[in-house]
A and B are shown apart, each in its own frame.
Chain A
């Protein structure tokens, strides 16, 4: 199971493939080709995070995300945050992903890529249309407090104390 993980992934391979991915994105893509163009850099980064997590991680992904932000002419940090999240998801699912054959692995990566794109969408929207203040988060505190009161009341109702006895 671990043989392929050790067999390749020298610094030369990693650097070469990431540079190739960046170069591929610089083609003057237009029309349908642009719409369907895979995010070469993201695929490359997540691939190396999966097979060489000790060498490629959050820092590289973040920097390449900044590059993607420049390419699309958007706010710096939009793709960087999304790529960092992608790296986290791959690290989280790493042992699971390594067990699958390519087809199943691709199917498992689909939600990861989807999550990255959704984060790009969300952060881009927030950067263009920032909320006036953070008052929208106040109900979170209220809900947490209500949860404590509710569960505490039910425990007392059933004759137990509020804190677990250890």
Chain B
């Protein structure tokens, strides 16, 4: 049936043929991207074009946060200040301990003549964007190659390990979170020192894999990076064990844990940039 203003017999390709053509184009894009990695230029182009828009759109939520903070009641601030003062005293205590430990450590290192950890500096970055992705857990940060970032660097926030830089654009970068199913993190159990391999298992969850059934581990244990992969520095908190189940059919324990870093809420993170050669995963 022809609509008014439309030709009854139009000399052009029908929807079926067009769909087929675009499907072929789409499949070739997928093959080019996955097999030959030739489309990174297009990614960088999109990133450059969208960066200013994203920077601009982050402003309203920042302003809202500022206003919210401004109207926070005085009483609350006083309470918070008291708590912070107490915490500072406590921290000072710990800092003294840590300083003496660091001194002792330096002496011991000198004794053993181990190479000191290569010069490391941190880059402050903020969350720029988070997309939908069923198969991977990624966020976009507002710092990129211009700030000295490159693929493979570890990203932390105030509470623990966030993930690893996986793609770098000129002004922004993509971070694969530790909860990504393909992301493996070498860890050790803080209480016992036993090493293991933690893998992401979806949204804000991780699991510790291949721990024999007689392993000494219980709910509440913290997992820290072991540093044996030379990617993550040793001792960054990664996750807290939430459940340990023994299976009759498997020789391994099933250990579920929850990442300590605010993977889905952290706004500000730090990227640890090592000057020395970093091993690409």
Contacts and interface: CB of A to CB of B under 8 A. Distances in A.
A144 B224 CA distance: 58
B129 A91 contact: no
A76 B135 contact: no
Interface in A1-52: 2, 5-6, 22-23, 26-31, 34, 37
B131 interface: yes
B118 interface: no
B270 to A, nearest CB: 19
A128 interface: yes
Given A77-B26, A77-B27, A77-B33, A72 B133 contact: yes
A121 B54 CA distance: 26
Interface string A55-94: 0011100100111001111111110110011011001100
Interface string B137-179: 0101000000000000000000000000001000000100000
B27 A73 contact: no
If over half of B's interface residues share one DSSP class (helix, strand or loop), that class is named, otherwise mixed; here it is helix
Nearest to B62: A28
A77 B32 CA distance: 10
B46 A81 contact: no
Interface in A143-160: none
Contacts of A78: 30
Contacts of B4: 2
Contacts of A81: 22-23, 26-27, 30
Contact of B135 (A23, A87, A124): A124
Of listed B16, B22, B47, residue having the most chain A CB within 10 A: B22
Interface residues of A, number: 45
A123 interface: yes
A130 interface: yes
A126 to B, nearest CB: 8
B18 interface: yes
Contact of A75 (B18, B19, B33, B167): B33
A28 B58 contact: yes
Interface in B207-265: 264-265
Contacts of A85: 19, 23
Interface string B105-140: 000000000000000000000011111111110101
A95 interface: yes
A70 B42 CA distance: 9
Nearest 5 A-B pairs (CB), nearest first?
A77-B29, A72-B131, A81-B26, A77-B30, A70-B46
10 contacts: A28-B61, A58-B21, A66-B46, A67-B46, A73-B131, A74-B133, A77-B26, A77-B29, A80-B22, A84-B22
Given A26-B53, A28-B128, A88-B19, 7 more contacts: A66-B42, A70-B50, A76-B30, A80-B29, A92-B15, A124-B134, A127-B30
